[in-house]
Each structure stands twice: as C-alpha cells, then as structure tokens.
Amino acid sequence: MTDKIGSYLNDQEKELVEKAYAFAAAAHSGQYRASGEEFIEHPLAVAAILSELEGDAQTLAAALLHDVVEDTSVKLEDISSEFGPEVARLVDGVTKLSRIQFHSRVEEQVSNLRKMFLAMADDWRVVVIRLADRLHNLRTLDALPREKQKQIAEETLEIYAPLAHRLGIWRFKWELEDLGFRYLHPEEYRALEQEIAAKQSEREAEAAMIIEQLHTKLEEAGIHADVQGRTKNLYSIYRKMKTQGRQLNEIYDLLAVRAIVDTVTDCYETLGIVHTLWKPMPGRFKDYIAMPKPNGYQSLHTTVLGPFGQPFEIQIRTREMDRTAEYGSAAHWRYKEGRADESFDQKMAWLRQLLDWQREMTDAGEFMEALKIDLFQDEVFVFTPKGDVIDLPVGSTPLDFAYRIHTDIGHHCTGAKVNGKLVPLSYKLQTGDIVEIMTSRHSTGPSRDWLDIVKTSQARSKIRSFFKKQVREEDVARGKASLEKEIQKLGVKWADIDEAGIFDKVLERLRYSDMQSLYAAISYGGISPVHVAGKVKDEIMRTQPSLMPQKEELQKPPTKQVKSPEEGVIVKGMSDFLVRLAKCCSPVPGDPIIGYITRGRGVTVHRIGCPTIQTLKDEERFIEVSWEAEVIGSYPVEILVEGYDRPGLFADVMAAIANVGSNISKATAEADSDGIARISAKFDIHDLDELKKLVADIRRIKGIISVDRAFGARR
C-alpha cells in the first residue's frame, strides 16, 4: 500500500496515513481475528482496497481507524484531537452501535444502517469505507461458523451490493455479489462455476476474434480505442437464470466487450462501426450517454449477433466515463470533504429520498423490507415536461412519479398525462415516457386505494402519513370538545381561564408541549378530560380563586333514552326540527359535529373534518348542533384495519369488536402481495368513548399497523 499511496498523495498526506496506522496498531495490540491473524491486518487491508481506488488521505486514515472506537478503549474524542474532526466524523459514521442493547438482530441491523445513511448524507465516503470493510470481511469469511457466513452473505446481497450499484462502484459490486453468492448458496455457486469454466476456452477464443476485428476497424477509422472482453460475473448470470427460468445453455449474452475511446463523438462513431460489423438485436440498444443513470453511469450499450451466431453485448464509453463506471462516487475523491459539484449532488438525490421516507418508519421489519425493495430494483427512466430525468422502480405509476417530485403534488394529484395522453393512475410507466401530473387545489387528498397502486416505499409512506395526520386532526377536535364539556361543568368561562394563563401552568404540570398534544391525548384515552379539568380547577383555586363561581351547581342533567340516533342531537335555537345523521361520515355521540340546513330534509349532521363539508359552499346554511348531555342508543361506524398478514388476524379483530358487545353488520378482509392484510368492519357503537376503547384494544393485537375510522358507515 505504501508504494500505491506514494504515487498520488503528497508528503503531508502520507504522514497522516502513517500516523493513523501506528495509532491503530497500538490500539489493537494483542487482538486477533477469528482466522488467527493479528487484528490490525483487517483495517490495513480495508485501507489497501481503498488505495486501489486512490482514496484520499482522510479516507485512508479513517479506514485504518474504523474499528478502534468499537473494539478498544479509545474514544471518538481521542480520534478528533489526534487526527481532526473530519477523520473523526468518518470513523463515527462507520462505527456500529455495539454498546446498545437491542431487542432483536433486525432492530440492531436497522439502527446501524440508519446511522450509516445519516452519516453518508453528510459525507458519502462513509459508505465507501463500509463497503471496503464488508468486502475484506467476505474475502476472509472462511474462518467464521456456517450460520454467521450465511447471515453476512445474505445481508451483503440484500443491502451492500445494491448500495455499491447505487453508487456506481462496479468494482465492488461484482465481487460483493459473487462472494455473497458463494457463501449463501455454495453448492449452486460451485456448480455454475464449473459449468462456465467447461466452455471458458471457447468463449475466450470468440472474445479474442471479436476484439481483434473491432480493434482493426477502429484503427482504420482513426479511432484510438482500448478494447477488452470479459465474462459477466457469476451472480448476475445466476439471477438471470432464476428470474427467467433458464438453464445456462439458454443464456446467450455471457460475453461482454468494452470499447474505451477518447471522446463522445468517438463513442457514436464506434457504435456505427459495430453495427456494420455485426447485426444489432432489436430493442437491445441503450443510450446512457444522452440519459445517464442516477449514479452517474454513462455508456452506450448494444447487443449484436457475433460471428458464431451468439449474442454478445458491447459497451462503448470514454475514459472518464469508464473511470466513473468502475469507481462510481470514488471517482470524485478530489472534491473537498467528499462533496462533489452540483451535478454529482443531483446524482445522490436518491439518498435524500431514501432518508425522507426511512425517518417515518418506526418498525424495524417494515424498514428492512422497504429498503430491500428500494435499493435492489430494476429501473425505468422517465421525463418531466421540462426534460428532467426521474428514475423509478419498474412497475411504478404516475402516483409514484408525483410523490417523487413533491409530497404536495402527490397529495393533490387528480390525474396524469403520459406522452400527452390521459392515462389511469395505475398505468405502469415505461422508460422514455414524458409524465405530466394534473393537480387541483380543491383535492381532499389521497385515497386509500392509492396504497394498492403505488410501487415505491416513498409514496406509500407519504400516503400513510397523510392519513395519520388526518386522524390526529380529528383527535384534536374530539379532545377539545370533551375538555370544553368538563370545563363548562366547573362554571368557569374558557376565555377567562386562557387569559389568566391557567392552561399554560396545567400543560407544564401534566408535561404536554402544547394544547393540541393534550387534546389528542384526551381523544385516544391517554388522559381523562375529567382529570385535566380537575387540574384546571386546582390551579384556579391556587392562583385565581375569584374566577370560580360563588356557588357551584352540580346538578346532573337527566339521561335521555333515544329511540333513534337522530333524537340525540340538539339544534341550537330550534326545536322539533328534522335531524338526519350524515351517512358520509357517520357521527356518534362524542364526535365534534356541525349541522347543515338542507332543502326539504331538515338538518344534516356531519363530523367536523368530514370531506363532504369542504364541498358545501353556502356558509349561511351551517348551524351549530350538539349532542344531548347523556344519550343511550346505538350508532353505525366503520373501521379500517391494516396489519401484517397471519393466520387468525381477522378472527382476533372480530373478537375484539364482539367483546364490547357490538353488533357486526359487515366485515371483509384481503391481503396484498406485500403481506399486508386490510380488514373493513361495520358495526354499531354507543358513543365515542366506547369506540376509542375498542380502537385501543385492536391496536394491541399482534401485527396491527394501523386502525382508522372510515367515512361512510351505513345502516
């Protein structure tokens, strides 16, 4: 490694690397790996791998020190004082959270990945060090038990190899894939290796002939080119056999030829020469020069029929493109602190999108599954109307595109045009499509059906967050109404309490950040409104006793036995007025409600927050309504439950509903391909408190993701 770094680092930079080696060797003194070799051999090997990519001095120093904080008594502060904050930040980014107790291996794995992604967003060199670390661990995996080998190999194929692909570091990607394949499926690996080796001499002879023919023609055209040939890596061949259900003798494009030229013009001229030498296969040409991949990869790809009638792929690119293809982000070492220019920053946009949705996922298993889908995917490349390229997973829809552009565009999407024509929101986007999203300010937000349409975890997460926020707004309104009722019983005006600062003191005593949080807690049963009102009264008596009425009237209003749900509603300023509960939102006693005077049908009562209210334009026809103080009756509601599919989930939910004595009128269940079960249940309930208790009971059932109240329960 000394010779290698001497070829591109100056004396001061070499001194930093040598100092880091001496520090790490002293810290790891007396430590040995499972293979029996001294521990320092591992960080030294990691740094050597990175030196082959011409890693900068800070990266090499961090690579040498990357296990010091995790495996010795050295603290991060010691690294910072000895080597500076930049090296310390890189070391911290690759240090695992080994001193924290986790409930499961998945939780530990997710926590470490989250930490790495956050550090990577600040400095992408963190993940390059981690990839080199993983690569050397795989090279020396023989010393570990079989179960540990499988665990590391599986994680490599699911997370680290796709990360290398995303960063465009093909040199890492191929070796990570093949080593992961070797240890996860050793028998299949050996069988495929032997089968390919059996005809390797034939392929080498064919490659030599193709290379010679192409090189001769390019020289005649005055194009200076380096022409190379190689067999595709084992894991990519294995995946193609598995996904396409083929045997090796049915996989024809095992050979790839690469022509590396001086200029972009040379690339296209070379393409013309290739197509005159060999017949191109229809639909197998890709221009990644005009439309680069998000990781910065540029090249021309064409598949042609070779001299023996076998298809083979030719990749054509410039020397700078080849360096980016081999080293990906590592081709940008020279940018200060791992930060590149604006164009490179745009290529890393996928990471910021990844961070956006992963912050919203609290369940470790859900995060891991979403990460695997979003990292390891085939892509389509589509255009905005302005010509910007957006990459999405194969199978993505206009809704995925809308949420990739901006959350608000997704939420307010009303339709889409692809290539100038209206398409359904479920349309599967194709590479080259020009996508235009139509929006409306009057849109009430996403539909739950969209969860079955979208492909990306980002879009699904944003839609779920919308409904969670909607539920919170309803909770705030319900909680406030419940507290207002209890405060009214005290005989004190709400405005007087607020003006006297009583609520601020109560919030402090109860440890809530604001009134909205308190209202929401009251609604979902976290705290009783009676308890809060008691604290309000205590604070009044302690600081503002004059606010209390001289004589408290504690007469309890009579309970009203209603024959129909509508009889439990009071219309302000009117009596004997026809009242109808809106079927679009199905209010129950305890819901904050509002009335709307209809033509010929009296007053229709809606839940506050009902989407239908937004469509009612005549504000003068809204009227104040309230529930009777005590109502005994039954009211129809519908809930929507999401959970991880398992045997007995539906029965557990139905049992919870039956336990509160509710009459179930209709219930349905279905599960999607992601293993998510969706249950809809319609039943009668007495009031909001009973419903909240039921919802809390269902949320405690194993595997439940969400429980939401639907609009539209009907008798």
The DSSP 8-state label assigned to residue 26 in this structure reads H
Six token digits for residue 706: 């969400």
672 catalytic? Reply is: no
Type of residue numbered 436 = E
Q: How large is the greatest C-alpha to C-alpha distance in the chain, in angstroms? A: 109
Residues 6+ away with beta carbon under 8 Å from 408: none
Q: Is 569 exposed, middle or buried (0-12, 13-18, 19+ CB in 10 A)?
A: buried
Type of residue numbered 433 = D
- In angstroms, the CA 79 to CA 676 distance is 46
Give the β-pairing of 413-418 and 435-439.
Answer: antiparallel
Q: Decide if 701 contacts 666 (C-beta within 8 A).
A: no
- In angstroms, the CA 604 to CA 534 distance is 35
Q: Is 44 exposed, middle or buried (0-12, 13-18, 19+ CB in 10 A)?
A: middle
In sequence order, which ranges of 330-456 are alpha helices (DSSP H)? 342-347, 349-358, 364-375, 398-405, 407-411
Which residue in 13, 70, 82, 566 is the catalytic one? 70
Give the β-pairing of 226-231 and 300-305.
Answer: unpaired
Sign of CA dihedral 438, 439, 443, 447: positive
Q: Is 469 exposed, middle or buried (0-12, 13-18, 19+ CB in 10 A)?
A: exposed
DSSP reduced 3-state for 32: strand
Six token digits for residue 290: 């005009």
Six token digits for residue 407: 């959350």
Type of residue numbered 125 = R
Cβ count near 64 (within 10 Å): 30
Q: Decide if 566 contacts 556 (C-beta within 8 A).
A: no
Q: Decide if 522 contacts 479 (C-beta within 8 A).
A: yes
Q: Decide if 315 contacts 258 (C-beta within 8 A).
A: yes
- In angstroms, the CA 283 to CA 274 distance is 16
Residues 6+ away with beta carbon under 8 Å from 78: none
Give the β-pairing of 664-671 and 704-709.
Answer: unpaired
Q: Decide if 254 contacts 231 (C-beta within 8 A).
A: yes
With b for 16 or more beta-carbon neighbours within 10 A and e for fewer, the 470-495 pattern comes to bbbebbbbbbbbbbebbbebbebeee
70 catalytic? Reply is: yes
Place of tokens 């919308």: 466
- In angstroms, the CA 531 to CA 547 distance is 19
- In angstroms, the CA 488 to CA 615 distance is 32
Which residue in 18, 38, 41, 71 is the catalytic one? 71
For the annotated catalytic residues, the residue numbers are 70-71
